Amino acid sequence: MENINLIDSFAEFKELKNIDRATMMSVIEEVFRSVLVRQYETDENFDIIINIDKGDFEIWRNRVVVEDDEFEDPNSQITLSEAQKIDEDYEVGEEVTDEVKLVDFGRRAILNLRQNLASKIMELEKDHIYGKYKGKIGDIITGEVYQVWKKEILILDDEDNELILPKSEQIPSDYFRKGDNVRAIVYKVELRNNNPLIILSRTAPVFLERLFELEIPEIFDGLITIKKIVRVPGERAKVAVESYDERIDPVGACVGMKGSRIHGIVRELRNENIDVINYSTNTQLYIKRALNPAKINSIKLLEDDKKAEVYLKPEEVSLAIGKGGLNIRLASQLTGYEIDVYREMEADDEDVNLDEFADEIEDWVIDALKAIGCDSAKNVLNIPRADLIKRTDLEEETIDHVLSILKSEFE
């Protein structure tokens, strides 16, 4: 048949697209019938036979034999004399079936048919991709970097579908080049201008959760449950875990011998520090664990305001707060309590800020003491007199005056 171009068209789609056989045949038949309607004003008396495997098709028209003087519709009727030219045994009322050649439709009709077919297949492919990834939201996928742009990365999956990893969903220290393999979760699936847009993420907490499921069999099997994850991507994360089996230590199982299990996760997240914490319904205990590695002396809960006042030794304060306030911020997010940290002083360890002496010591002298790291009375008193004079470059009389005032505060 003179259908080679068209056959190539849907044979190509059959090979490249993820569309099931029944749907493909239905779409092809629908496109053919639309052409028949335009050509003959009806498609009711046509049979379309499609062979997807061979990339072949046939169109057959069924017409009823009528007397020559009753002939009205050349599409649905054939005269007795014409029918008997095909087979002299035909009689009035019988049905004649003959093949319709696509080439008879004309070049423009064939071109339109091909375009419609391509358009329909493309729509089906878009629907397939959208549906496939809509069902994968929250799942980890692996793809290959195809293009790196300033604000996003284009990634291809194993079916060459295009996925987007925006800069905002990348770990700050992520660096990818064309050809690199990337692991991320399917974060969002949208339709933009009728095209499926699949957004990936490496910063979402659920990405860390899926990595735990991959690396730790007890979590995958449901023996250990992840209660909550909070993280600052690339910096630090806190993961609260719980085991329903008393024989399983959830923290130990997640970390592994010498950190063997969690090491792969840390490496995937660009050396993000991960604190694995044993979940507890005891709020005070949970807050203590969340503020690890700081050692807490006592906690006062203000349940109405969802606040916690945490008291600890002065040397533990910096550990509780963490670099840039990261540790205390993540602990607050993990526990759901606004945490305030207070230094717990012994009775004989009370100190007084230097600013409290502003009415007795001049401001420029206080500034000179602060410049060498002394912001409290005891900071100053703990430094030998000679060192104070040398380091502050203040006169002896001034230093003696300051020491006298400060010592009298504690007498």
pLDDT of 8 > 70? The answer is no
Residue ranges in 74-155 assigned as alpha helix (H): 80-86, 107-134
pLDDT of 24 > 80? The answer is no
The region of weakest confidence among 187-196, 249-258, 322-331, 401-410 is 401-410
pLDDT band with cut points at 50, 70 and 90 for residue 12 = low
Q: Distance (Å, rounded) from C-alpha 231 to C-alpha 229? A: 7
pLDDT of 141 > 50? The answer is yes
Predicted pLDDT at 4 = 46
Share of the chain above pLDDT 70, in %: 92
**pLDDT by residue (tens digit) across 332-370?**
999 999 998 887 755 455 678 888 888 888 989 988 888
Bridge partners of 196?
191
Q: What domains can you pick out in the chain, each with its CATH number?
A: 4-131 (3.30.1480), 135-201 (2.40.50.140), 281-344 (3.30.300.20), 351-410 (1.10.150)
Predicted pLDDT at 46 = 87
Ordered DSSP codes for 197-234: EEEEESSSHHHHHHHHHHH-HHHHTTSEEEEEEEEETT
Share of the chain above pLDDT 90, in %: 42
Predicted pLDDT at 19 = 66
Predicted pLDDT at 1 = 40
Predicted pLDDT at 334 = 96
Predicted pLDDT at 341 = 86
Tell me what the mean pLDDT of segment 95-123 comes to.
Answer: 79
Tell me what the mean pLDDT of segment 217-230 comes to.
Answer: 94
Q: Which residues of 307-333 are buried (b: 16+ CB within 10 A; e: fewer)?
A: ebebbbeeebbeebbbeeeebbbbbbb
pLDDT of 35 > 60? The answer is yes
**pLDDT by residue (tens digit) across 259-313?**
899 999 999 999 999 999 999 999 999 999 999 989 998 999 988 889 999 988 8
Compute the mean pLDDT over every residue in the chain, rounded to the nearest whole number: 86
Sign of CA dihedral 244, 245, 247, 249: negative
Predicted pLDDT at 102 = 74
**pLDDT by residue (tens digit) across 380-410?**
888 888 888 888 888 999 999 999 888 887 7
